[in-house]
Structure 1
Amino acid sequence: MSKGLKIATIGGGSSYTPELIEGFIKRYDELPIEELWLVDIEAGKEKLEIVGNFAKRMIEKAGVPIKVHLTFDRKAALKDADFVTTQFRVGLLDARAKDERIPLSHGVLGQETNGPGGLFKGLRTIPIILEIVEEMKELCPDAWLINFTNPAGMVTEAVLRYTNHKKVVGLCNVPIGIEMGVAELLDVDKSRIRIDFAGLNHMVYGMEVYLDGVSVKEKVLELLADPENSAFVKNVQNHGWEPEFLRALGAIPCPYHNYYYKTDDMLQAELENFKQGTTRAEVVMKLEEELFELYKDPELDIKPPQLEERGGAYYSDAAVRLISSIYNDKHDIQPVNTVNHGAIADIPYDSAIEASCVITKEGPKPIVNGELPVAVKGLVQQIKSFERVAAEAAVTGNYDTALLAMTINPLVPSDSVGKEILDEMLEAHKEHLPQFFSEEKTETVKA
């Protein structure tokens, strides 16, 4: 009998973990997991214990023989793992609040994965991901890294560019949320819908939509023109699209495109929330408190429906479907973040893209798109430039490179405003950005 799988989840105390557990339970027959190691840091001890005990109850109720280990020892978790999933937040939700509030105090959009907030989440996250990859090289060199930590595209870019570990796939629940939303709009089962995705993480477009193999893109674009129909995720405000704009665009935008195509609407709404002390970080903090109170209940042994409000809905479907497809060499089609290898002609060959891929035991094989439509090409390339430069800043700790990344992001109005935000955010996140504060760099940061 073959040995069961070992999976290590870094950030195991996350409120998302029950989504993952549900997915592993549902697919146990095709994914024989023997050990699941939930790893967190000492500061997350209480949450890890609450989530870990809840996970054990879910598994016991389901009657599947998965052994759950809770640990702060990342290396013990990584040792001989078959898959490593990452879903952590450096600096916890307090850091997210700073990422949102500081840019807004300068009249600039503050958001977790876009603009200055996305830059700083990347600067804090990438060094830790690269540490994990180094440990994997020693402890589980053949394991696949499945990264759900945002900004997923920038993180995937950094792993591809600054390590030799090519077994990395970035994952986002936005494309699967769009597929579910489109199926709902058309009032059909999701299994009948296929969308061809191409672009970058949180900058991905549905290039074609099929129902039973027949294109229904025009009909979907028409339906999306109704503001009631275009909210595909819970965590991004929806302001609706102009019908004429959608027709001319000729592709399905993702919810995060609101930040780029409706910047002023989004900024005004965020500024209003900022004044009232209800930025998304505060909303999530409150939601997490409620979720962890639910998770504590010794009678609770199934995932509560409230978790879908968290913004991570369908994570289990996306993550576990991906792991199963790699393990079972399924050759099905899924949207993931992977190396381009020429699939999108307008993006460098060795860069990360988000696109529909055939999933094999050798990893994702992106479906060839050729050139992007002229209407979307420029914005996608600008965001790729931002991701590349931001990843370089995260690795080098170079102030000038960080300012360049900040300024070339389309949500930052000028280098002078960018510099003000950069300086304030570097100071606010100093504890989690040691690469910028070594002795030889102190003068540059203060300059």
Structure 2
Amino acid sequence: MNKKKFSIVIAGGGSTFTPGIVLMLLDHLERFPIRQIKFYDNNEERQKQIADACAILLKEKASDIQFMATTDPKTAFTDVDFVMAHIRVGLYAMRELDEKIPLKYGVIGQETCGPGGIAYGMRSIGGVLEILDYMEKYSPDAWMLNYSNPAAIVAEATRKLRPHSKIINICDMPVGIEERMARAIGLTSRKEMVVRYYGLNHFGWWTDIRDLEGNDLMPQIKAHVAQHGYSLPEEIAESQHMDASWMHTFAKAKEIYNIDPTTLPNTYLKYYFYPQDEVATANPDYTRANEVMAGRERHVFGECHAITKRGSSLGTTLEIDEHASYIVDLARAIAYNTHERMLLIVQNKGAIVNFDDTAMVEVPCIVGANGPEPLTQGEIPRFQKGLMEQQVAVEKLVVEAWVEGSYQKLWQALTLSKIVPNARVAKQILDELIAVNLDFWPELN
């Protein structure tokens, strides 16, 4: 096998997920050797807190890996093979507004769905395009593995505005659900399953799941979901997905499953099928953003400060981000032409036969040195097709609104969202979102 060691830049170096990704990369060095890791962020103070601790982790665990943290694009993106991007434009302070403003109007606020996702998307598009352009300017042969949210809107923007770029948009949510499926039926890993799946990001359905010998696992998994959703008898407390809001999400999958028991659903469909339930259980004064700031963000920055202060990671509670191993699988597939089968967000181009060819869909792909090759999923039922057409229209309108600076199209996007009850409420939410996003959105006319 090629023994080349790779150079990686993590774009979003100040993210709370960055230490877990570094630990994950270190845990996979035999599979994916690294010569250099760089952090890039436009928030120097925030990044430094993470980088100082990660420098100690790297010195202890892999001192031969070169490391730097920078806010200079040329320094960051020169001489890199992969850009792993997970940026959050506006940080959690803006996510909090994304969630709380819609709730004032009886509409669920969520970072990837409905008004919250639209607001976040309008902030993310420019940031992701900027990083992509830096990569192409300074390391044109590199690949960008992008898991910045909201993935669906970002993917549509890159398809439309950077159609020839070497970017692959990914999401680890299906990975997490598949791990739960595997554990529910006694398997040790999702990699013991071969899946068929179609949909949009955070908006899809599994249609076939088999073991490596070809035996059908759907009946067992369906029986579990019909009774428990994706909840498991014994939850792993240290996982970030074990917050109360996630426990509700996994249990809610039981109700989502009942709508179409021929398939297994993505958990995020709860926001579209039962939005009033989500509003009823939401605390308008303490949303998911507050949970994250009080939980993961406080923990990660606290641990990083402790590591830096004592000059050692001994005793740290920072953990490997297991979901991020998906990123290593993807990077290896490209680097070593492994033809691994993975769920990715790609342009449809006939993968779903009876669906818009320009839509960015989430389907299984075979990944090699030239990127992903989508696997055809055939025709999809009218129910799913109708839902997906509505949601794709929302995503396309958001991108068009960003490109054109169109208030009208953004209002239309909000009105069309299945989560928003009517155009009047859509306009009220939009006007408040504009007021708080003046520093982030293009000017709308």
How many angstroms apart in 1 are the aligned matches of 2:72 and 2:194? 41
CA distance in 2, matches of 1:36, 1:301: 22
Residue matched to 1:116: 115
Q: CA deviation at 1:134?
A: 2.4
Task: Measure, in 2, the Cα distance between the counterparts of 1:13 and 1:244.
Answer: 36
Gaps of 5+ in 1: none
CA distance, structure 1, for counterparts of residue 230 and residue 3 of structure 2: 47
Give 1:261-272 correspondences, 5 Å limit. Answer: 261-270=273-282
Query: Is residue 316 from structure 1 mapped to residue 324 from structure 2 by the alignment?
Result: yes
Shift of 1:243: 6.9
Candidates 237, 243, 249, aligned match of 2:261: 249
What residue ranges of structure 2 are gaps of 5+ in the alignment?
A: 236-240
Give CA deviations for 1:122-153 in whole Å, capped at 9, x if unaligned: 10110121222222332122211111110112
Residue matched to 1:87: 86
8 Å contact kept, 1:153–1:354:
no
CA distance in 2, matches of 1:204, 1:241: 12
SS of the counterpart of 2:47? helix
Contact 2:351 2:375 in 1 (8 A): yes
**2:107 and 2:275 in contact (8 A); partners too:** no
Return closer, same or farther for 1:412/1:56 CA change in 2, 3 Å cut-off: same
- SS, match of residue 283 in structure 1: helix
On the 8 A contact 1:222/1:243 being kept in 2, the answer is no
Greater CA deviation, 260-269 or 133-142? 133-142
Instruction: Name the structure 2 match of 1:4.
Output: 5
Which one-letter code corresponds to 1:246 in the other structure? N
Using the TM superposition, give the Cα deviation of residue 373 of structure 1 relative to its aligned residue in structure 2, in angstroms.
Answer: 2.5
TM-score w.r.t. the length of structure 2 is 0.90
- Which residue, 317, 322, 330 being the options, matches 1:304? 317
Which of 339, 343, 347 lines up with 2:351 in the alignment?
343
Q: Which amino acid aligns with 1:265?
A: D
Residue number in structure 2 paired with 1:19: 20
CA contact (8 A) 1:330 1:359 kept: yes
Does the 8 Å CA contact 1:146/1:170 hold for their aligned counterparts? yes
Structure 1 distance, partners of 2:48, 2:334, is: 30
Show the counterpart of 1:289: 298
How far residue 25 of structure 1 moved from its aligned partner, in angstroms, is 1.3
The aligned residue for residue 396 of structure 1 is 404
What secondary structure, in the 3-state scheme, does the structure 1 residue paired with 2:265 have? coil
Q: Partner of 2:373 in structure 1?
A: 365
Which stretch has the larger CA shift, 397-406 or 246-255? 246-255
- Which deviates more, 372-381 or 410-419? 372-381
Q: Which amino acid aligns with 2:101?
A: I
Q: CA deviation at 1:210?
A: 1.2
Q: Which residue of 2 aligns with 1:258?
A: 270
Partner of 1:326: 334
Deviation track 1:305-332 (CA, whole Å, cap 9, x = no partner) reads 6x68xxxx53321112111111111111
Instruction: Quote the RMSD (CA, aligned, Å).
Output: 2.2
CA deviations over 1:314-353 (Å, ceiling 9, x no partner): 3321112111111111111111112222111233223321
| Counterpart contact for 2:340–2:366, Cα < 8 Å | yes
The equivalences for 1:411-426 within 5 A come to 411-426=419-434
User: Percent of aligned positions with the same letter in both sequences?
Assistant: 29
* TM-score of the superposed pair, with normalisation by structure 1: 0.89
- Structure 1 residue runs of 4 or more that deviate by more than 6 Å after TM superposition: none
Secondary structure of 1:371's counterpart equals coil
Relative to structure 1, is the Cα distance of residues 136 and 256 closer, same or farther in structure 2, using a 3 angstrom cutoff?
A: same
Offset of residue 230 of structure 1: 3.8
Match of 1:173 in 2: 172
